[in-house]
Structure 1
């Protein structure tokens, strides 16, 4: 069998490795030393932010939430070097709590920072509702104005994010997120209610939000930018009907085996979000195994764009295949056992053999116009992962029987 020439790996020099080691650790130590205050730390965005900060080496995190001792806020304000102000009220028992939670607490936080003459940049999460004339929006607008005034007074950098609907893992269902509610209820076989399927949502994914937040944390400049609203991109504009249709497709994919379109950014993010709401007792699902005396054949994944993946198990000394295709092409990967894949161009008598084994993983392409088969040469089952470039269509199978070795 022909082998590709592999380039010899050239290890890094000692000096280069030494330099890289210290560069990596410098960045990590710099992150470790930074003291970061996060209000609303137990909320949806707060939880996602904290785990990613820790992933990136930030370890001195001051977490503050609604049940924290208020005296801690004063302690943290005197020490912090950056503030993520994520705390807010969006479902109070009475409307007066909107202003108390979204304006009043912001005022307390900024007063504490001014007490210590802090120059820590402050990032606040507001809402697109701040442009609306309702109690929630008015309270968010008041918090924004307070922060912009604080920047003018102190010269501190501030970042005000008017976020649209945020979706992703760990968002509380049946609260204030339609996406979280739909994901949770569909995953748990609970009913959903869609009053207007044509209603449109502007959505941002929580990972995109967190990436934007952390980028602000890493800004080196100490100069305060002119007041403006920060944006997270991309923004996905979808109707409720579109979202529900996709979520039902995700649920049905366990039986259809059809993967979502991972080339579509929104669909990819929504599928990840949906999976995070699966019941812990329902992570797995069975596949239909087509079993006969030769072994079994089981379809695993399908996509209209990129074909399908299947698992083929052959019993010892069994031959499968002996067919060819016009356009359909395949890739075989033996992951357990040993065998041989044989080819013959349909207008030739020459037989080509590729010996394969789970001890040396190697992909074999199955070109069109060659009849081919695969034989298990071992004494145990041989397992082959098979990819084909199109989903099987029984009306147009593009599969034609022809023995590779008629005298075998």
Structure 2
């Protein structure tokens, strides 16, 4: 499908255009620099329109009328003159229900679109979006998330006048996916919503974002796998300067080899790796509750086990190319020996973070 995207060089426009291209649509990109003939060509070819262009922080309040209402009217007029009843998806704002210049201009733009839809039979889907955040948003402009991420990523302070002020947020990737789903299923006239929407406060938002760089020092990651924290973490990383794309972690080395902790979690343990030279044995201890998973990345390893109660023994030999996990069992002392000719490299997950005060690691030979 050929999709005309207005505001294609803006924050949302860039995200929409990239995803449309990924799933096979042709993007007809329109921005403030697009000339009249390109506008006309795009309007004639478009099979669907995603109307994202608009003004939200003008130098002159009068620009709300020209940038939001006037531009929308121009788009509808061109579509009508071309005889093109292409469906339109419009990004309006939750401020449309507020009696102020910006909100009023959004309401007026919605009315222009709905009138055009009635006259041309073009489906018009309107999204009154709350604060949208994600990669490529301009910091120090109109997104607190972008500003906070940009500054925290550079070690700068962030100013908060009212920590208790509420925020309703939607993640740009979720917005785009809802748009894509609507395109695939067919645009229907009316007001639509993006889910999930996150309710938070300015203070909570700042606290979450500040925790991200701290995790590099503590090695303990926040819960970045789901929900708002996941979306904020991805957004935060997109604002990192290139010289902060990497960081070092402590390496603990002795005659046996190296041990490196990579990542810790608040409630699901930690990830590490260790090395061992030929003939070196590591371990020779048991745990009461702690459990571990070992993955041999490179080399040849012998795992030895002995049950503390029955004395039963068990052994496993693993090659690095096998993709084979070996688990430790509570109440069984265990060790791992490099029985190959080269360095042994083993990845390790433990279900709890190592606590020197309560290590649950008792030395005993297998």
Q: TM-score range by the shorter chain?
A: over 0.9
Secondary structure of the 1:184 match is helix
Corresponding residue number in structure 1 for 2:149: 183
1:188-242 CA-partner distances (Å, limit 9, x unpaired): 1122111111111100011110011112212347xx63xx321000000111111
Q: Distance in 2 between matches of 1:191 and 1:398?
A: 41
Query: Does the 8 Å contact 2:294/2:346 carry over to 1?
Result: yes
Which residue of 53, 69, 78 maps to 1:103?
A: 69
Query: Does the 8 Å contact 1:260/1:271 carry over to 2?
Result: no
Query: Does the 8 Å contact 1:344/1:351 carry over to 2?
Result: yes
TM-aligned CA deviation for residue 75 of structure 1: 2.2
Corresponding residue number in structure 2 for 1:213: 179
Corresponding residue number in structure 2 for 1:24: none
TM-aligned CA deviation for residue 269 of structure 1: 1.0
Query: Does the 8 Å contact 2:222/2:266 carry over to 1?
Result: no
- 1:10-25 aligned at under 5 Å gives the runs none
1:113 aligned to 2:79? yes
- RMSD over equivalenced CA pairs, Å: 1.3
TM-aligned CA deviation for residue 361 of structure 1: 2.2
Query: Does the 8 Å contact 1:309/1:387 carry over to 2?
Result: yes
TM-aligned CA deviation for residue 339 of structure 1: 1.7
| Runs (5+) with no aligned partner, structure 2 | none
1:229 aligned to 2:195? no
Structure 1 residue runs of 4+, over 3 Å off?
Answer: none
TM-aligned CA deviation for residue 263 of structure 1: 4.7
Secondary structure of the 2:220 match is coil
What TM-score does the superposition give when structure 1 sets the normalisation length?
Answer: 0.87
Corresponding residue number in structure 2 for 1:5: none
Secondary structure of the 1:73 match is helix
TM-aligned CA deviation for residue 260 of structure 1: 2.2
| Runs (5+) with no aligned partner, structure 1 | 1-33
Q: Distance in 1 between matches of 2:186 and 2:349?
A: 49
Q: Distance in 2 between matches of 1:312 and 1:302?
A: 16
1:203 aligned to 2:169? yes
- 1:42-191 aligned at under 5 Å gives the runs 42-58=9-25, 60-191=26-157
Query: Does the 8 Å contact 2:258/2:274 carry over to 1?
Result: yes
Q: Distance in 2 between matches of 1:234 and 1:335?
A: 39
Q: Distance in 1 between matches of 2:13 and 2:299?
A: 49
